[in-house]
Amino acid sequence: MGGSPSFPREALSPERVVIVTGGNTGIGYETAKWIAMLGAHVIIACRSKERALHAISIMEADFQEEKQKGTSGLTSGTLSVEFMELDLSSLKSTLKFVEDFKALGKPLHVLICNAGLGMHPLTYTEDGNELMFQVNYLAHFLVVMKLLPVMYQSGPDCRVVLVSSVAHNWASFDLDKIQARQYNEANFDRAEYYYKSKLYQVMQMYSLNRRIHQSNVTVNCLHPGVVDSEFTRSFRDDCHWTCLYRCAKCTGVSITPYKGAITSIDVAVNRKHEGVRDVYFDKCAPVTPSPESRNQEKQEELWRFSLACLKDYLTEEDVKDLEKT
């Protein structure tokens, strides 16, 4: 019989290290909180130290409340959570985050690429990339590529979790339009480019798994649901999308950040997913992603383009090591 999506309330080893990008708010906050409450060491990677520390203090209060309720799986006395600075809109910041993490000498068992922007007006980063392309996809691509060697050395069950969206179904892949150079602020379709950024994540899942399929690291993707969170901050100036999201909230179509985090948590911690790769999850169940996302030729085009965009940040050794796995 079916039921509501859920994740196992089973204690995790305190030695298990999990990074959650954007773990200070929304889905990321709930994901980081619950994985930490189950016992793992969680690193919240985001821009603001102040907001991250505030989130951690709220997590502690939530943790004590859940323990008083007798929630199963909560065996540790305190949460093990720390903040690390990561600004995905800057590739320099992204690389520094990677270097700072490596300097800790910690293993890495789960990398949850959760942070993202929704339907942002046309903006280019200091690196010259369209903002949603970089924040939602390219900078995470860099983090994954740089941290894979750490994950290879971290034990038998390591996972990369890419938080995509059902919106990837509405996107097409066009190499010449990735950076939106054909558009200006007036005619830029922010929804289309958000959809595209989510498509790239699903395509990355396939491209990466092809290269590391014999390793201890698996890559999976998911749709969290239509979540009532700070995701809407990017398009509060757009009456059309703001109205649609308000309607979704009023009609019960949108869900809470906790419910939106359930699939992320499940894919990250559920023992039944050990060794599982190339799966796109929705409500904790495998579903088939779009035909466009499964086009191998286009996946490889995106892969090559991504490497070109990151040529100043990825060494030949980074790429060769990946191809050898």
Q: Which CATH superfamily is domain 17-224+262-320 in?
A: NAD(P)-binding Rossmann-like Domain (3.40.50.720)
Residue 275 has pLDDT above 80, yes or no: yes
Cα distances (angstroms) measured from residue 276 to each of 44, 167, 266, 289: 25, 23, 12, 16
pLDDT digit string, tens, across residues 81-119: 999 999 999 999 999 999 999 999 999 999 999 999 999
Q: How confident is the model at residue 241 (pLDDT cuts 50, 70, 90)?
A: very low
Q: Provide the pLDDT for residue 3.
A: 72
* Measured distance CA(288)–CA(157) in Å, rounded: 24
Alpha helices in the chain (DSSP H): 26-37, 49-69, 91-104, 131-132, 139-152, 190-212, 239-250, 257-269, 296-309, 316-324
The predicted model gives 291-315 an average pLDDT of 98
Q: Provide the pLDDT for residue 245.
A: 46
301: closest CA among 311, 289, 293?
293
Instruction: Confirm whether 152 is a catalytic residue.
Output: no
With tokens 């709930």, the residue in question is 30
Q: What is the pTM of this model?
A: 0.93
**Which one is catalytic: 29, 137, 194, 200?**
194
* Measured distance CA(201)–CA(139) in Å, rounded: 11
pLDDT digit string, tens, across residues 23-33: 999 999 999 99
Would you list the domain boundaries of the chain? 17-224+262-320
Q: Provide the pLDDT for residue 142.
A: 99
Question: How many of the other CB atoms lie within 10 Å of CB of 251?
Answer: 8
Residue 192 has pLDDT above 60, yes or no: yes
What percent of the chain clears pLDDT 90, i.e. is strictly above it? Answer: 85
